[in-house]
Chain A
Amino acid sequence: GQQLNQSPQSMFIQEGEDVSMNCTSSSIFNTWLWYKQDPGEGPVLLIALYKAGELTSNGRLTAQFGITRKDSFLNISASIPSDVGIYFCAGPYNNAGNMLTFGGGTRLMVKP
């Protein structure tokens, strides 16, 4: 499958700080998805993006679909301890769009 490069691999921040992470691909994607995995659980969809340039928010989370369609960004404002987890970007890698490829994940740790 296509490779998604996600950075940073991990972040250790103070509660209240803003967080930014991004995902890049060598290929064009028509959909970008952001998932969060809480410790001991499976990933859960946070935000789905369907159009280049699109900016979508979900509470304190904001994600953007890059203009080039080869990247996406996720920002978390005013982090809290329950933001701890692994964040994954994902996109469909076959024409039917029914198979997802995932980035390597960003592990977020929040210090109270």
Chain B
Amino acid sequence: DVKVTQSSRYLVKRTGEKVFLECVQDMDHENMFWYRQDPGLGLRLIYFSYDVKMKEKGDIPEGYSVSREKKERFSLILESASTNQTSMYLCASRIGNGYTFGSGTRLTVV
């Protein structure tokens, strides 16, 4: 089974901090994604990457950047965290229609 691992389940950061959310997959998938989940809004795509060093903006990229230096690792970066970025962040990797999600990182910005 594909495993997608997010490094932290819970994070609390201060406004203005630079925040790194890490995601690692173990099945050599080319496509990786970062979603944000908020009640009633479902999952909204922040960024995705289809290969090393390649990235595309999703629906809500503002305030975020990403890094994909190695195929197995896709990092989401909040350059200067703000309270409206408090949310659940889900990483996924994909082959075919088979998206596999990590368990999520619940980020609170205070």
CB distance from A93 to the nearest CB of B (A): 9
Chain B residues contacting A6 (CB-CB under 8 Å) are 42
The number of chain A residues touching the other chain, given as a range, is: 20 to 34
Neighbouring A residues of B40 by C-beta, 8 Å: 9, 104-105
Report the interface size for chain B: residues with CB under 8 A from the other chain.
25
Which one, B43, B90, B98, contacts A45 given CB within 8 A? B98
Q: Which A residues touch B41, using CB under 8 A?
A: 104
Summarize A's interface: helix, strand, loop or mixed: loop
- CB distance A42 to B58 under 8 Å? no
- B-contact bits for A22-39, CB 8 A (1 contact / 0 none): 000000000101000000
User: Does A59 reach chain B (CB closer than 8 Å)?
Assistant: no
Q: Which of B4, B50, B99, B100 is the one whose CB lies under 8 Å from A100? A: B99
| B94 cross-chain contacts in A, Cβ below 8 A | 98
The 9 closest A-B pairs by CB, nearest first: A42-B101, A102-B43, A102-B42, A104-B42, A1-B59, A43-B101, A105-B42, A42-B103, A42-B102
